[in-house]
Chains A and B, each alone.
Chain A
Amino acid sequence: MPIPAPPTNVRVVTFQIDGRDYSAREDETIIEVARENGIPIPSLCYLEGLSTWGACRLCLVELAGSPRLVAACATQVAEGLQIYTDTPRLQRYRRTILELLFAERNHVCSVCVSNGHCELQALAQRYGLDHVRVPYRHVAYEVDASHEMFRVDHNRCILCTRCVRVCDEVEGAHTWDVMGRGSDCRVITDMNRPWGASDTCTSCGKCVQVCPTGALVKQGTSVGEMTKDLHFLPYITRRRHNR
């Protein structure tokens, strides 16, 4: 596919990431530019092709001259910005956020179908998370296996809402939603009915493919067998926006 020319009314700006110069269209976000250039800003809720959510806070970066951190997925680049993506302070925060996620639900990797193919696990390894300092909550959440093809295990959900967004924005079914408050939030299908009884689900499986953890998986997979394929998403959105 030919690369589309940038619309002429959008300016190109130059800025620095981790001390190196880059340029990009001013309507691009920091995380987009970073991805294009191979700078590994961690993320869990961001996914190219879906709307911005800004909730996992792993992508926070520092801007020179500002005490406030900004979310790389929700912040556009601007002329002269000096962005730092991997300072000791950010590393510390990211490690703590990951710890909080592990302690919030029951993430026991060794018995998970996504073992070895999980974005949460991969980030924990990258940040050298070898123990969790806060107590695990040990709340037993439900596993809904009523759908003939897929399964949702709330014990492994990190509430990133990728499933909600892909279903609404790409598939157009809006089967998923979030219910509840605080740590007891849950993703639900239809009006909190079993997934298998859903009227809106088209069984397309997009939610399963975008889920970063072992929360949404195919039925019949065993430990470590569940691999996911995200390539369809940028392709669909590019076609849709006729780029």
Chain B
Amino acid sequence: MHLDDMFERAEEYRAESAGVEHEVRVCMAASCQSSGAQPVFAALSEGGQGDACRVKAVGCMGLCSAGPLVAVAEVAAPNEAPVLYRDVRAADAPDILASVGRQPVERLRCPTDQPFFTRQQRIVLANAGIIDPDSFKGYVAAGGYFALIQALTEMTPAEVVQEVTKSGLRGRGGGGYPTGLKWSTVAKMPPGQKYVICNADEGDPGAFMDRAVLESDPHRILEGMAIAAYAVGANKGYVYVRAEYPLAVERIATAIRKAKRAGFMGNRIAETQFSFDVEIRLGAGAFVCGEETALMASIEGLRGQPRPRPPYPAQAGLWGYPTLINNVETYANIAPIIREGGDWFADIGTERSKGTKVFALAGTIRNTGLIEVPMGTTLRDIIEVIGGGIPGGKAFKAVQTGGPSGGCLPAAMLDIPVDYDSLRELGTIMGSGGMIIMDETSSMVDVARYFMEFCMSESCGKCVPCRAGTLQMHGLLDKIAKARGSAQDLALLEELCDMVQATSLCGLGQTAPNPVLSTLRYFREEYEERLAAAQV
């Protein structure tokens, strides 16, 4: 198959829906489903539609707090923002259907000229909320699988690695390790059995970026994995996804089946020499199983526990073979990079962090949901402008990034541009993109205790500092929070933070003290208030 055939195929698929003038898109991702999207979709579908208007199930549109979301788009004007409706009920279906091509239903309208929509730049989420995630044709019609065919027919594996290196893409799973470098390490291992893994474990509380991508655009992940496999010389892949994401599992399984049937997965993909197969592995929802060595142990059928590195997965991974492991969002960036070129990608973002980042806004913020912004956007823009600020007239207090491995930043830090390095300098991390916003009523000691409790109960129990250290740190935090602690307790807590950070085996333990250390750095007075309260 050649690129020209691919263009033809996309043209053909588009032609199949030639008569359609309007699309009524219903978000059927997990958030909107939980607020009642299914009856809405059923009512709209039943409501009778001519050939000119098609009702379509799509993925996440981002503004999850306003769900169920429905968008009416004019097919002939793909660049125009569709009319968006919020909090739609099944009873609204007739009105919406009647309005298609006429005046929008004002009472349901959600303005799309607000910064939440206009300030985003969508690469990873380009198709989310627009295409039907279960439709192979829909993905191809939107330009899907071009990059794979381009890589297979016009590029050598080394050129693919080079393009990814040039893009400056860094791993979106939290660590920010340069993706091109990781790929070239695996590629340089002697030929033989190799694996690629997609890490879709996503265990941080408050994070749902990867879930949304899988639910909205699963073929994009498969395409990214296939390109990666071609680049590093692997022919077998695993998607490791938590069983708590049943919809994501279902969508990725459907995508694999359809890609196979269409010849984009399996033996001799698109009539080239390249073969690639993907299987799904379900995780049981242990946070530590997102750690790469624990994840691989889990795939092998062993207890999900980390092991010392080196050897890194790139050298000796799954069953001892060289293994490339990347995050969902990392793979989601690959097809655009191959299609548009590494230089295009490297133009977006900051000096050392390229591209965009998807963030999940949660906590006390007006627009809860999913956003994608260029790296380097300031926290203020994200929270106050895009997120719409704090509801209920309260004041902003802190933003927590990076989940249990990250830290809390105060209002004084809101003007920093968000990238891997700036956040690290301030004592937190980018993590996978969870952002929890807290107002003046939150207590930072309680926040630190909450995250420590999470780490304590998610510690796999293998190494002593994390297993017994998180337990003792949690005990001390609890004591301080309940105004029973002393200055010695605080000193011991700080000592344990340092020890657990320096000595734990895996990232879970090494970063577990971060929420404590960052709140101590920016909100120390709150700890001292609790100590003072203990003395009276």
Contacts and interface: CB of A to CB of B under 8 A. Distances in A.
Interface in A125-165: 133-135, 137, 158-159
Contact of A185 (B307, B467, B495, B502): B467
Given A57-B505, A74-B308, A183-B471, A97 B465 contact: yes
Given A52-B308, A96-B496, A96-B499, A57 B471 contact: no
B320 to A, nearest CB: 13
A97 B464 contact: yes
Given A57-B504, A74-B308, A182-B471, A100 B458 contact: no
Given A57-B505, A182-B459, A182-B461, A100 B468 contact: yes
Interface residues of A, number: 33
Contacts of A185: 461, 467
Given A96-B499, A101-B468, A54 B505 contact: yes
Given A93-B503, A97-B503, A133-B492, A178 B461 contact: yes
A193 to B, nearest CB: 18
26 contacts: A54-B307, A54-B463, A57-B465, A57-B505, A69-B503, A97-B465, A100-B465, A100-B469, A100-B472, A103-B472, A104-B471, A159-B461, A177-B303, A178-B303, A178-B461, A181-B286, A181-B458, A181-B461, A182-B459, A182-B460, A182-B467, A182-B471, A183-B461, A183-B467, A183-B471, A184-B461
A135 B505 contact: no
A93 B465 CA distance: 9
Contacts of B505: 54-55, 57, 71
B462 interface: yes
B151 interface: no
A184 B456 CA distance: 11
A83 interface: no
Nearest to B510: A68
A103 B464 CA distance: 11
Nearest to B461: A185
A180 B492 contact: no
Contact of A56 (B463, B469, B472, B495): B463
The CB with the most chain B CB atoms within 10 A, among A55, A60, A69, A100, is that of A55
Interface of A: 52-57, 60, 69, 71, 74-75, 92-93, 96-97, 100-101, 103-104, 133-135, 137, 158-159, 177-178, 180-185
Given A96-B496, A159-B461, A103 B502 contact: no
B115 interface: no
Contact of B457 (A55, A60, A101, A182): A182
Contacts of B460: 181-182
Interface size class of B (residues with CB under 8 A): 20 to 34
The CB with the most chain A CB atoms within 10 A, among B464, B465, B470, B492, is that of B464
Given A104-B468, A182-B467, A183-B459, 8 more contacts: A54-B308, A92-B499, A101-B468, A104-B471, A135-B475, A158-B464, A180-B461, A181-B457
A97 B499 CA distance: 9
Contacts of B502: 69, 93
A122 to B, nearest CB: 17
Given A54-B308, A96-B496, A182 B456 contact: yes
Nearest to B504: A57
A74 B502 CA distance: 16
The CB with the most chain B CB atoms within 10 A, among A60, A97, A181, is that of A181
Contacts of B461: 159, 178, 180-185
A159 B465 CA distance: 12
A93 B471 CA distance: 17
Nearest to B459: A182
B463 A57 contact: yes
A93 to B, nearest CB: 5
Given A69-B503, A134-B472, A181-B461, A96 B456 contact: no
Contacts of A159: 461-462, 467
Contacts of B499: 92-93, 96-97
Contacts of A92: 499
Nearest to A133: B492
A76 B257 CA distance: 45
A183 B472 CA distance: 10
A177 B303 CA distance: 9
A193 B452 CA distance: 33
B464 A57 contact: yes
Interface in B462-521: 462-465, 467-472, 475, 492, 495-496, 499, 502-505
Contacts of A57: 463-465, 503-505
B224 to A, nearest CB: 31
Interface string B273-288: 0000000000000100
Given A159-B461, A182-B456, A182-B457, A137 B467 contact: no
The CB with the most chain A CB atoms within 10 A, among B286, B467, B505, is that of B467
Nearest to B496: A96
A55 B463 contact: yes
A95 B414 CA distance: 40
Nearest to B498: A93
A88 B460 CA distance: 29
A97 to B, nearest CB: 5
Contacts of A101: 464, 468
